[in-house]
Amino acid sequence: MFIIVAGGGTVGYHLTKELLAEGHEVVLLEKDPKVAARIAEELGPIVLARDACEGRWLAEAGVVRADVVIAVTGDDEDNLIICQMAKFTSSTPVRTIARVKNPKNEWVLRQLGVDATVSSTAIIKQLVEQEIPQYAMAHLATLREAGLEFVEFHIAGDSPSAGRRVGDLQLPAGTNLILVLRDNTPIYPDRDTILRGGDTVIALLRTEAEQAVRRALVGEAQFYEVPR
């Protein structure tokens, strides 16, 4: 693949090296000439000391035959403009990926035409939820295009769903409880399954219904007591 990376900070530098090592053709655009020169010393003439926010430099970098443009500067607004400029400048379709610092901007940038976004804040938070099992709720995976999420819930003895039939829970339409892990044994729940404290429930739900499902299963709790 031919990939244009915009932004030669720590992320852009290491990303470029990784992509080159995998055999991709890469051009790196970095607007600070000193930073660009330092990277060019190591990686060669694939580095252009140009501002990727300007269409003419994206054109010079070869955006018309690029498969992907990845904007990884430190500013969300710059990354948005780079992705939009790439689409505007190129006469052929180009996929755009933007790094986002403020997790709220992931949604905003996709609304404004960026194909994919990456937020290190969101990724680290997801890992924290999964690695610290005391969290009442952890995101496992997101199917963005479909607006669906896999979420894991930890039911405590005093959770609103403990001791209740699945069929009696007030779950929003489109919510599927896929799996209950009880003492590490999988149970495929139906309407008559009764949830217990200590259960781990894996649900497939619509993104906008996340808070409603959470209230029904674990209430307002952020953390739950680890069962002994």
**Binding region for another protein (CB under 8 A):** 53-56, 75-78, 80-81, 84-85, 88, 102, 104-105, 108, 111-112
Alpha-carbon dihedral angle through residues 184, 187, 193, 194, given to the nearest 10 degrees: 0
Nearest-approach distance from CB 111 to another protein, in angstroms: 6
Per-residue H/E/C for the chain: CEEEEECCCHHHHHHHHHHHHCCCEEEEECCCHHHHHHHHHHHCCCEECCCCCCHHHHHHHCHHHCCEEEECCCCHHHHHHHHHHHHHHCCCCCEEEEECCCCHHHHHHHHCCCCEEECHHHHHHHHHHHHCCCECEEEEEEECCCCEEEEEEECCCCCCCCCCEHHHCCCCCCCEEEEEEECCEEECCCCCCECCCCCEEEEEEEHHHHHHHHHHHHCCCCECCCCC
Nearest-approach distance from CB 180 to another protein, in angstroms: 36
Nearest-approach distance from CB 217 to another protein, in angstroms: 27
Which residue, 22 or 77, has its beta carbon nearer to another protein? 77
Nearest-approach distance from CB 99 to another protein, in angstroms: 14
Which residue, 37 or 64, has its beta carbon nearer to another protein? 64
Which residue, 63 or 213, has its beta carbon nearer to another protein? 63
Which residue, 85 or 136, has its beta carbon nearer to another protein? 85
Nearest-approach distance from CB 174 to another protein, in angstroms: 24
Which residue, 78 or 152, has its beta carbon nearer to another protein? 78
